[in-house]
Structure 1
Amino acid sequence: MILSPEIITLLILLSASILFFTEVIPIPVTAMAVPVALSLTGILESEAAFSYWGNQWVMLFLAMFIVGEGVFRTGFAGYIGERILRLAGGSSTRFLILIMFVIGIMSAFLNNTGTTAVFLPIVISMSHKKGMSPRTVLMPVAYAASLGGTMTVIGTPPNAIINSTLETYSLEAFGFFEFARVGGVMFVAGIIFLTLGKKFLPEDEEFEADPESLNIDRGEIRHDKMKRSMAILLLVLVAMITGFISLLTAAMLGAVLTIISGCITVDEAFSAVNWTTIFLFAGMLPLGTAMEKTGSALMIAEGITSYASHPLLIFAAIFLITVFLTNFMSNTATSALMAPIGIEVAMAAGMNPHPLLLGVAMASSCCFLTPVATPPNALVLGPADYSFIDYLKTGWMLQIMVFILAMIFIPLFFPF
């Protein structure tokens, strides 16, 4: 029996999902296998299947990883850490609020994965100076980074994937700060919850950790180049916010200046890039194109709309499906899988696709129940000696809160 293109595409989708869940093979390899499968089966021409390696959002994140590395290696991140300690004084609560706020804001502009990786040894060091266990600090930090990243198009990979998918369907992409209408609400609410809900945080057990032993030492800090890295970051952000230079050109200019100014070396630039994120982007984006071309996304969309007809119910279904998948697989992969489905669902139901796509973006980034749900969650797992159950205990109420906020504020700002 010859399978139809729709079924073949769905089988590739299912196979990728299973491999992402089980990690039988490494996640980046699964992502690379997707365009290979699409090309071998004739779903897409090879040029189309592998064209996303030059996608502007792939290159944008690559460049911002390099800019972020310059911020760390010139000592700017450490300088911020010392300032936080001074402002916190003797209050552990004030310290927690400040560190979450700063990391959340920086995650919006430097990417939440890179920011968490950059600040991890600094936060552990600051925790020891405050006489606090990293167990009570690192999980709120990871959650704040995820929430902060939702506020801009470059803060977290799912936001960029949403814009790329909208452009694939010739729809208007979200503006640089449009995500912040909802993401800002979730960020502030998350900080309040994590500050007041201390009983939900992992217990402050006896914990000895030497930041030097975390195997994330990045070598000599170039304090003499700090002003250069700060100026480069400011230039990139002003360019992106004002639009006088395109997002990609601004990011690439920042990456080039970071290297030629001596803030980092070429080798350090290569090592700064989170290649798993890059491979996931480039490998999974063509699946969205294939799902549109073959009609498989429409097939799934019609299945969802046949059970839910009211726009709010459809939104809730898309959001909860995305949350479920993201808590067990890469949020980058989940957003790439769900974005085309969200658009087809909207079209089938006669809805504005933007609120559904924003729901996919928020659901992909605001996941707190497992260590594999987001890169920030995974980064703090080992250094804080967390268990799977620690994430569940801390994150379940925050997960419910995010869902409720999404149900209220996304339709408010982006009507169905």
Structure 2
Amino acid sequence: MTTDQIFLFGLFGILFAMLVWGRVRYDLVAFAALLIAVLAGHVDPDAAFAGFGHPAVVIIALVLIVSRGLVNSGAVELIARFVVAPDRPLPVHISVMAVAGAALSAVINNVAALALLMTLDMDVAKKARRAVSLTLMPLSFATILGGMITLIGTPPNIVIAQYRQDALGAPFSMFDFTPVGLIVSVVGIAFVALAGWRLIPARDGSQPLDEDAGLYVAEARAREGSRAIGRMVRDLYPDAADKDVQIIGLVRRGKRLPGFARTEEIRKGDFLVLEGDPKSIEAFMGTAELDFAGSEKHGGLRGANLTLIEAIVPDTARIVNRSALDVRLLYRHGVTLLGVSRGGKRFRDRVRKLAIRPGDVLLLLGPDDRMDQTAQWLGVYPLADRKTALIQRRKAAAAIGAFGIAIALAVTGITTLAIGLSACVVAYIAMGLLGGEDFYAMIEWKVIVLLASLIPLSAALEASGGTELIANAIVGGTNGWPAWAILLVLMVVTMTMSDFLNNVATALIAAPIGVSVAGSLGANPDPFLMGVAVAASCAFLTPIGHKNNTIIMGPGGYQFGDYWRMGLALEVIVIAVAVPAILWVWPL
């Protein structure tokens, strides 16, 4: 080995040890390693930060932003409506949720797909009175499997596609991953739904996603064309119960009708008085096609990126002993007081006319970029992590159309995927589905810094001949073996690394090794790159190999050792199915 190789192997060894140890954030570890390599003269200072402009980094960031826009439009929710039913047998429920999760992960980031469906899955588990651990892990594994189906479904695919561009002159296209990814996903989901879930211990979630600050009393208007118009209030009770909301009254011409108004027929312009938590109220408004109170008086809100926040009222707040109408909240700031929580107590006053007391919790709705300023003006304290995006369901078709056009432009070669997705983001901003803060809130900056730091390091290792050295060791250790067996060994090594390292880091390190192995064998490099893509994505043995596994650990009440029970068998199945599928689609 040369001096350069010894240094870089030592640096990567320390880097891997720090990543597995996990006591220091992985992005900081990777960035520190990059600086050490620069100062030691193994990475050119002019190329040190080139990774931040790499197409793979840009595409990963854009996919996360586009995913938020699709969620905000209600496009993703359209699928979710058909997958939830508490009375289904457990294997059927897991099958439906797994297929939905995999399908979503193919078109949006798999982390975003899990975040959406996980809440629904937990609600179903609660209603069915079964341990949520039995269904959350299958859902997580299914979203990981589904991400392999397209280029944008999972970061390793993006990394591998762009590495092929650098190494071979052309990237993998959007659907080059589909044949192998679809075969592996179908077989993997079948195992998870039919047998795998039986290997999981039944545990109650020890860390619920959300602790309610209390139930809010809110008002929602029956707009023109609403499906609620012409129906009695009691006709909406089943939908309300399904969303964990109670309808406790009806307001007509500014006056609250007596009692619960169960038998009153709902008319255009009536306000339903609702009681529930913010997410439940928002979901029921979508189902019943209701508008928030005040929308008819401030049309500017219709095109904005709207957010619900919860804020507690101190005794020094401007709004104490005054109502939202008194302080002209909507007129001055374009923010609506949607609901009030008063320690579980109900009240008959109109929400906007209610005199606010110290200790009340307000549910405020308005443009995301105005909420902090408005809360400060009111003198209230927003509760941490208590934001809920308002879904703009009328824009679902337009959002899907913009996304479809972006993908079509990339697939037909009219423009690159990065430019197509950028155009989609601009369209979402114009539609009011995204605000400026979404650029920063939705991007996983730790992953971006990790990837941008490792790209120059990986290039330095390859330039030094280090990856070729590893490839020769693999080929030498498997001397006389058929090419398919060497591909299998490469996938097993990559998959093992991915179980303990970030999957992006694994793909970056393993991709050059795969190309070098193919070169040593005189074989087509594409099956080896595909093998790395599949293996880097499939981290099922630990909660740290993939972010989805980390996300479900607390809500599912899982222990570190629970993952391998189903994950080990699934990884064996993936290898057994992927190797012949790769060789069939991408011959050596």
Q: Give the TM-score normalised by structure 1.
A: 0.92
Pairing 1:385-396 to 2, within 5 Å after superposition: 385-396=557-568
- Other-structure match for 1:380: 552
Aligned residue pairs, count: 414
Shift of 1:312: 2.2
8 Å Cα contact 2:467-2:512 kept in structure 1: yes
* Distance in 1 (alpha carbons) for counterparts of 2:451 and 2:209: 31
Work out whether 1:278 is the aligned partner of 2:448. yes
For residues 182-229 of structure 1, give each alpha carbon's deviation from its aligned partner in whole angstroms, at most 9, with x where no partner exists. Answer: 111110001110111055342334458755339865413133444443
Deviation at 1:131, TM superposition (A): 4.1
Measure, in 2, the Cα distance between the counterparts of 1:212 and 1:76. Answer: 24
Is the CA contact (8 Å cut-off) linking 1:64 and 1:255 kept in structure 2? no
User: Which region of structure 1 is more displaced relative to structure 2, 255-264 or 385-394?
Assistant: 255-264
Q: Which has the higher contact order (CA 8 A, sep 6+)?
A: 1
Within the candidate set 401, 405, 422, 1:252 is matched to: 422
**Displacement of 1:127:** 3.3
What does residue range 1-400 of structure 1 map to in structure 2 within 5 Å? 4-85=3-84, 90-198=88-196, 200-207=198-205, 211-213=209-211, 218-223=387-392, 224-309=394-479, 310=481, 311-400=483-572
Q: Name which of 542, 566, 576 aligns with 1:404.
A: 576
When residues 199 and 232 of structure 1 are mapped into structure 2, their CA distance, relative to the original with a 3 A threshold, is closer
**Equivalent position SS for 2:500:** coil
1:92/1:313 CA distance change after superposition, 3 Å = closer
Do the aligned partners of residues 304 and 208 (structure 1) sit closer, same or farther apart at CA in structure 2, a change above 3 Å counting?
closer
Which structure has the bigger radius of gyration? 2
CA 393–171 in structure 1, closer or farther in 2 if over 3 Å, else same: same
SS of the aligned residue for 1:219 comes to strand
Partners in 1 of 2:173 and 2:430 — Cα distance?
30
Report deviation, 1:307: 1.1
Q: Distance in 1 between matches of 2:211 and 2:140?
A: 20
| TM-aligned CA distance change 1:53 to 1:17, over 3 Å | same
Tell me how far apart the structure 2 counterparts of residues 276 and 108 of structure 1 sit (CA, whole Å): 23
Q: Matched residues, percent identical?
A: 26
Q: Distance in 2 between matches of 1:350 and 1:302?
A: 13
Once the two structures are TM-superposed, the CA of residue 359 in structure 1 deviates from its matched residue by 0.9
Specify every segment of 5 or more residues in structure 1 that has no aligned partner in the other structure, as ranges.
Answer: none
CA drift at 1:59: 0.6
Distance 2:488 2:537 in 1: 16
Letter in 1 for 2:459: T
Distance 1:175 1:226, change over 3 A: closer
User: Shift in Å at residue 175 of structure 1?
Assistant: 2.1
- Asked if 1 retains the 8 angstrom alpha-carbon contact of 2:208 and 2:555, the reply is no
Contact 2:462 2:512 in 1 (8 A): yes
Distance in 2 between residues matched to 1:216 and 1:129, nearest whole Å: 25
Distance 1:378 1:73, change over 3 A: same
Residue identity matched to 1:347: G
Q: Which whole-Å CA distance do the structure 1 matches of 2:419 and 2:520 have between them?
A: 36
CA RMSD of aligned residues (A): 2.3
Runs in 1 of length 4+ with deviation above 4 angstroms? 206-211, 214-218
Q: TM-score scaled by structure 2?
A: 0.66
**3-state SS of the aligned residue for 1:266?**
coil
Q: What CA deviation, in whole Å up to 9, does each residue of 1:258-284 have, x standing for no partner?
A: 223211221133111112221222111
The alignment partner of 2:409 has SS state of helix
Alpha-carbon distance in structure 2 between the residues aligned to 1:137 and 1:31: 34
Residues 125 and 211 in structure 1, CA contact (< 8 A), matched pair in contact too:
no
In terms of fraction of residues, the more helix-rich structure is 1
Which runs of no fewer than 5 residues in structure 2 stay unpaired? 213-383
